[in-house]
Amino acid sequence: MMLNTQDKKFKRLFNSQNLHKYDGVLIHQDYDDDGAIEVIDADGVRSLHFGSIPRQSSMLLSDPNQLYLEYARTMSSWLLFKETLNDDALLIGLGGGSIAKYLLHQFPDCQIKAVEYRKSVVKIARSHFGLPLDSRLKIVVDDGGEYVRKRLDSERALYSLIMVDAFDATGMADAICKAIFFENCQKLLKKDGMLVINCWGGVSRPQFQQIALWLGRLFNWKLLFVPVTGRGNIIGLAFNSGTPTYALRDLRTRAIVLEQLYQIEFTRFLRDLVKHNTSVLQNIIYK
């Protein structure tokens, strides 16, 4: 579509004002029906924004396969409870693709399906964040809630791991803030599968409390939460009915090994899991 002179002047003015939001260089800007998509480079880090200050994804330019953001590293705490990922994983929300890239890089036997609502985000993940074309990764452009509903028959009990990280410019996407969404996700999990979710807001927030209640009831309170250090995110880990219980001593040993292997703070994650889940810890971990 050709922009007229007035449109071009407005867009230049918008861009110049918008740059002041970010401490960095705007290297790409796009728009779709859901708003702005912006890519910012600052101090060797490339970040994805949806027209607002919160970062949807970030990538260290010198090491693009690393999990750079604290919340993304904290989401990897599922590795404390699963030795590896050698089958199917479902990602609800793609963003810049940092989690998808990490899984592909670390687990050569995994098969990943990622569901992303915005086609423009998928294009930018490919063009600006190095999301590879890989036969092990299938990307579906769809609403996350609708996708899991439509796959209750064809993908039932398929996934060992479901990771939910679906946000828009203002917070968690509406499609995932529904009880039926989590019910459908559980049906797509294997008996020993895990659901990992990135929640926004502190424990006093009504939205977080509602999600915790839904997950607790659905997973029979085999549920742990770990706050993201220095951020407003809380990561939830929900364990399906076939998952075993774990000895704390074994988990401590495993955390040390994982930290050396992946250079991620697993020992701190485990300490925080124990500290913040006293009422339900015995459902998952025994001392």
pLDDT tens profile 141-174 = 999 999 999 999 999 999 999 999 998 878 888 8
Higher pLDDT, 168 or 47: 47
pLDDT per position as a tens digit, 190-231: 999 999 999 987 677 889 999 999 999 999 999 999 999 988
| Alpha-carbon span 152 to 186, nearest angstrom | 10
Cα-only R_g, the chain? 19
Q: Tell which residue, 161, 141, 171, has the closest CA to residue 83.
A: 161
One-letter amino acid identity for 174?
D
Tokens 């797509």 label which residue?
Answer: 188
On whether the 70-286 domain is CATH 3.30.499.10, my answer is no
- Looking at the annotation, which residues are catalytic? 165
Instruction: For CA atoms 249, 254, 260, 263, give the dihedral sign.
Output: negative
Query: What H or E segment, with its residue span, contains residue 159?
Result: strand 159-164
The predicted model gives 45-64 an average pLDDT of 95
The predicted model gives 121-148 an average pLDDT of 97
Provide, for the chain, the percentages of residues in helix, strand and coil under a 3-state DSSP scheme, each rounded to the nearest 5: 40, 30, 35
Residue 17 has pLDDT above 70, yes or no: no
Residue 106 has pLDDT above 60, yes or no: yes
pTM: 0.91
The predicted model gives 17-40 an average pLDDT of 85
Residue 3 has pLDDT above 90, yes or no: no
One-letter amino acid identity for 102?
Y
The domain spans of the chain are 5-60, 70-286
Q: What percent of the chain has pLDDT over 90?
A: 83
Query: What H or E segment, with its residue span, contains residue 121?
Result: helix 119-128
- Calculate the average pLDDT of the chain: 92
Is 40 in a helix, a strand, or coil?
strand
Residue 78 has pLDDT above 70, yes or no: yes
| Alpha-carbon span 75 to 164, nearest angstrom | 10
